[in-house]
Structure 1
Amino acid sequence: MKKRLIIGGVLAAALAGLPGMTLAGDIANIQPIGFSADGKVFGFQEFGIKEEGRIPYSNTYFVNTGSGQYLEGTPFRTELTDKDANLSKARRQNLTAARGEMDKYDLLTNPGLIAAFNPPTELGSPSKTIRYTTLATDGPPKSPYTLSLGEMPVPTPKECASIDKRVLGFSLQMIEKEGAPNRQAARQATAVPAERVCSVEYRIGGAMVYQPETGNQVHIALILAFDAERNGRWIAVPVHP
């Protein structure tokens, strides 16, 4: 069953809260899984322990890099409430459930490159921009890219009516491409998964790059979405330079 999405608003392991802020929620960790050989599918897992109830959870997502939407029948979600529940058990069960899709698209064969990583725990790091190159080489940066994240108010969905903070969406621009200034609107209006529509803040948390044997590079912006309780969850946003 395809997940419902809305237009308007719309990632790299974050282990703690934003510096200088009091958080009541938890921020999920993220583990990229990989790409299909043609770059048309990207998979990742997020996981953590919910602050309320100390419930271990794990979710595995499969994203169509053309549309930015989840593949039909995904994501796979696991929450464990039994007395012997732990994070390891939740992750294993979740990956077992998702293994068919992982194998179908051969994601483990094509891990891609973690080109940049910008967790909230990195003191002083910018939250709305990220700069990276597409080759893992030493020395001066070669043909860098920069993504810039902007927030914007959106109409409050009815399921968010009880929230006492402004609901936000975001725009994403590639302001540098191969070392040159760029005005490309990577994702000015992006479809947001239904479970993220009540987000009140976003952070650009990382970037993935994959080069298929044939065809153009695929870039993935990893966006961390915060709800009003300061729970942080991830969205993978495909970018095509």
Structure 2
Amino acid sequence: MVLGLLLAAFGFGSSAAAGDIATLEPIGFSQDGDLFAYQESGIQDGSGFPYAHIFVLDLNADRFVDPSPVRVLLKDEAASVADAMSEARAMVAMLLAERLADPRKGEVVVENLPTDLSADPKTARFVPRAILPPIDDPIELRLSTFALQGPEFCEAETRGFRLARIALVAGAATSVLHEDTGIPVSRSCPLDYGIRQVRIYEKPSGGFAGVALLTVTSRGFEGPDIRHIALPVPLD
């Protein structure tokens, strides 16, 4: 839905829509549920160069674990996405071996594909386990966007986002999980955001680890580009 609206808004017809939608590939959670890692890759819009990014997120501190994030761009049209991913993997090999040697994928409880025009990319309501009838309280995440000054090189309006967990049960309070106060250069010039996926991992020690993977849509050289960011979703 996000992609379709942007194509229409910017006048990109189906034959001219040559923007770059990164391929999202979650690596998984650490066994204790403290870390989550994912990667994205593709061919850069305009240049034709392959790229690969790897992120390892500390879910408790809501920060990246060094040496991530790793971003590789191979300025060679003869190179492949696999080449870029191999280089990126080598840069975080020690971290993955020490902290994510046997990652747990967790469960996908929400999935909004870029091709699904019926999905609501701004709202996700789910339960953390596939048990019928459900024994867990429902959880709702709501994403909203607002105008926010972007990097100096952005010529048009850019937008930030707010992600909130909505109170659905008596006695609970709505909480803001993230609210932008600035836009990092790594996002380029963002135009919109969407909830791409929610993953939940049931920890061996009890409780759940959760992460929301969001799309970041920005205007690229030939059309809208989509990258991904991850945010912890506290569930305990």
Question: Fold-level match, TM-score > 0.5?
Answer: yes
User: What's 1:39 paired with?
Assistant: 33
User: What's 1:236 paired with?
Assistant: 230
Q: Deviations over 1:55-108 (max 9, x none)?
A: 111111011212322123211222223353112222233223322211111253
Shift of 1:180: 9.1
User: What's 1:199 paired with?
Assistant: 190
What is the DSSP-based 3-state SS (H/G/I as helix, E as strand, rest coil) of the residue aligned with 1:92?
A: helix
Q: 1:19 to 1:83 in 2, by over 3 A?
A: closer
Larger RCO: 1 or 2 (CA < 8 Å, sep 6+)? 1
Structure 2: state its 5+ residue gaps. none
Q: Deviations over 1:98-137 (max 9, x none)?
A: 2221111125332222221112211211121112221134
Structure 1: state its 5+ residue gaps. 1-15
Q: 1:132 to 1:191 in 2, by over 3 A?
A: farther
Provide the rounded CA distance (Å) in 2 between the counterparts of 1:115 and 1:178: 19
What is the DSSP-based 3-state SS (H/G/I as helix, E as strand, rest coil) of the residue aligned with 1:91?
A: helix
Q: Deviations over 1:206-229 (max 9, x none)?
A: 101123222642211111111232
Q: Is the 8 A contact 1:55 1:79 kept in 2?
A: yes
Shift of 1:157: 3.4
State which structure, 1 or 2, has the greater radius of gyration over its C-alpha atoms.
Answer: 2
What is the DSSP-based 3-state SS (H/G/I as helix, E as strand, rest coil) of the residue aligned with 2:20?
A: coil
Q: Is the 8 A contact 2:26 2:37 kept in 1?
A: yes
User: What's 1:122 paired with?
Assistant: 116
User: What's 2:177 paired with?
Assistant: 186
Of residues 86, 100, 110 in structure 1, which corresponds to 2:104? 110
Of residues 77, 80, 85 in structure 2, which corresponds to 1:86? 80
Q: Is the 8 A contact 2:150 2:182 kept in 1?
A: no
User: What's 1:8 paired with?
Assistant: none
Q: 1:152 to 1:17 in 2, by over 3 A?
A: closer
Structure 1 window deviating more from structure 2 (109-118 vs 208-217): it is: 208-217
Q: 1:24 to 1:182 in 2, by over 3 A?
A: farther
How many pairs does the alignment contain?
223
What is the DSSP-based 3-state SS (H/G/I as helix, E as strand, rest coil) of the residue aligned with 1:27?
A: coil
Provide the rounded CA distance (Å) in 2 between the counterparts of 1:17 and 1:24: 15
Provide the rounded CA distance (Å) in 2 between the counterparts of 1:174 and 1:107: 31
Q: 1:62 to 1:56 in 2, by over 3 A?
A: same
Q: 1:107 to 1:225 in 2, by over 3 A?
A: farther
Provide the rounded CA distance (Å) in 2 between the counterparts of 1:216 and 1:192: 32
What is the DSSP-based 3-state SS (H/G/I as helix, E as strand, rest coil) of the residue aligned with 2:37?
A: strand
What is the DSSP-based 3-state SS (H/G/I as helix, E as strand, rest coil) of the residue aligned with 1:148?
A: strand
Provide the rounded CA distance (Å) in 2 between the counterparts of 1:198 and 1:167: 6
Q: Give the percent of matched residue pairs that are identical in Structure 1 and Structure 2.
A: 27
Shift of 1:179: 10
Which letter maps to 1:172? Answer: L
